[in-house]
Structure 1
């Protein structure tokens, strides 16, 4: 009996290794640097004389450039290795953020945002691939859940920190702190032990250019992520306007409660993913997301807004790391870069579409509350797509036996 227990302990590889902690730290520093700029750089652009269209382009141009970069980043990660692509991406981020301090023209800031998006696409795709290499396969859901907490913490605290520094001092100090964080992320990445590029023992012919950039095995989880990202894009873009519409003064409460619930739920759902499979996480997560969006659409007070955020946080905190872990599990080691590029591209595209499509839906319906209610259709679509794939896979297994 003792021998069997000992053998199981030996088989269970450690998760909290030096490389795991350093990669999570580098990710935290990078995302904190990025999140500080989300509410502050549009304000700065407006102070320089930018109109509403140009202020919107600050986010749009960044998203477009990162979206265009990710497929090429994934291909480079698989061909050149993780280290060089990551360091180049982090260097571009640090240099671009520092450069904002010396730019006073609106058009030049927009151009710099395009370059910044390239660095962001390279670095975040690289970090996602590096952590996938580091986490033991049998603990992938748990590891991705813990790793994702660095993103969540940055999303919860970064924007508030940036606004506080800008109000207490100036935007130049925001850029100084953001640049230092990006440099620290670059510095800490130097201490990661990177695996050598993996080449397939049985290479397949990938003659088409698209097949080299995108990973087909990642398309299913990426399409599911696209549905949830569109909803999230509608929340981050219009939650303030929704608060004005409903008379809720402190909509920041939504992000605090959402982030708090994500911090609590991710470690639990990660272990559940490893032990029981994706269906035990994705289906309940989708149900909680639908419930959260419905509650949000009927919210008229801080209490009802907090309740909606807590419910939505359970769904959001469950689905995203589970889908990323599932993406890595479905792809071969030598195609992890392309798989991560495909996955993160879906996230960028979804947030961008959420701002545009749901904004048009709000104009058509005349209400942000109705917009959030109608957006639940996307999560129903999520359940339909996943249910169809699960049924097809189960039928295939029965046929094989």
Structure 2
């Protein structure tokens, strides 16, 4: 039975719908560049060893600037920060056409990561403000669809465009999606929060939100495992002589899209513990299935299981990171969450490459279970705290 408060809290407002579409357009552009920039770098340099710099420079900037983005967002100007970051992202995307020189391209990519840190953190904070608190996990599940659908469409669209029309056309289309996101964000009716400017000096305590650390640690360990999937599964498929292993990601994206809102609603009605614990167990199970996979149907099964598991963990932990944080600290909480996610991705991409070199991809995927179980252990250290805070927030809403 639904909580009576949930029935009176309207989730689907015009602001929420516009924010989802704006974020969807932004994530299409974001993921269009992931598989295409390495190809572009190889084309202009002729060196495979340099192709990973495109992702590394963006993520490095995102990690460095997210805490400062959170601090600025906590002044109450959520929408303005989103527009600022989106504008930076747009200008850098356009600049890829102008400078087919590696150092200039990497500099533009680094600045683009700066813009991404601001617009992505601001978007998540806007979502947490717009969504009614008793329906926060459910709302974050729907909001997360913009990410998963962008993840599903962006890479395929980017590769299709460079193969059929070339890099310049692809960069222009990518920039067009960012500009569309900017225009849509202008339509969001959001007044700046009246938050007094903080007088606290810049420090770890003011940059990071303490109450968001626990769920952020959970996503940190989970994203270490996620990095192994997105970075090396195609190579593992080649090793196992499985063609069309890309279908794993199609099924993964579909499962992720379906599971996000379902598990979000389940977390709001039945509690966060059930959702996060189940999701982490499913993520571990998926790694075991990948280890034993020698045929395409088994890889597809793994993609379905992993999509359901990650779809349960990511939006629920993101909701937990802001659930019991005051409005004036939600920007820092969101920045803390995504910073830990980015760090996990960076660490995982480097670490699993070394592990695969010495032990092979098969054993590597078995070892991916370790950080996933560490995420489960970290979560189980504070499940009652999460449940009590959830009940408190619903009662006070």
| TM superposition score category, shorter chain reference | over 0.9
The residue number in structure 2 matching 1:261 is: 255
Q: Choose which of 226, 251, 273 in structure 1 pairs with 2:245.
A: 251
CA distance in 2, matches of 1:351, 1:114: 17
Corresponding residue of 1:40: 36
2:363 is matched with 370
Q: Are 2:272 and 2:387, in contact at CA under 8 Å, matched by a contact in 1?
A: no
CA shift, 1:163, in A, is: 0.6
2:154 is aligned to 158
The whole-number CA distance in structure 1 between the counterparts of 2:227 and 2:326 is 30
The Cα of 1:208 is off from its aligned counterpart by: 5.8
Q: How many residues are matched? A: 388
The superposition leaves residues 99-122 of structure 1 with CA deviations (integer Å, 9 ceiling, x where unpaired) of: 100111111111111011001111
Tell me which residue corresponds to 1:399: none
Deviation at 1:198, TM superposition (A): 4.7
Residue number among 232, 240, 254 corresponding to 2:234 in the alignment:
240
1:231 to 2:240 alignment = no
* d(CA) in 2 for partners of 1:99, 1:108: 9
Which consecutive residues of structure 1, in runs of 5 or more, have no partner in the other structure?
Answer: 397-401
Structural mapping, 1:2-401, within 5 Å: 8=4, 12-199=8-195, 206-207=200-201, 209-365=203-359, 367-390=360-383
Q: What is the rounded CA distance, in whole Å, between the counterparts of 1:185 and 1:101 in structure 2?
A: 20
Contact kept in structure 1, 2:273 and 2:387, CA below 8 Å: no
- Tell me, yes or no, if the aligned pair for 2:61 and 2:110 is still in contact at 8 Å: yes
In structure 2, runs of 5+ residues without a counterpart are 390-397
Deviation at 1:390, TM superposition (A): 2.5
CA distance in 2, matches of 1:327, 1:204: 21
Q: CA deviation at 1:56?
A: 1.1
Looking at structure 2, the residues matched to 9 and 204 of structure 1 have their Cα atoms a distance apart, in angstroms, of 33
Larger radius of gyration: 1
CA RMSD of aligned residues (A): 2.1
TM-score by length of 2: 0.93
**Alignment partners' CA distance in 2, 1:132 and 1:395:** 19
Counterparts of 2:79 and 2:140, CA distance in 1: 20
8 A Cα contact 2:320 2:386, kept in partner: no
In the TM superposition, residue 55 of structure 1 has moved relative to its aligned partner by 1.1
Name the SS for the 2:188 alignment partner.
coil
- Distance apart, 1:141 and its partner CA: 0.8
Counterpart Cα distance in 2 of 1:288 and 1:279:
14
From the superposition, tell whether residues 23 and 395 of structure 1 become closer, same or farther in structure 2 (CA, over 3 Å): closer
1:53 is displaced (CA, Å) by: 3.3
In the TM superposition, what is the alpha-carbon distance from 1:51 to its structure 2 partner? 2.2
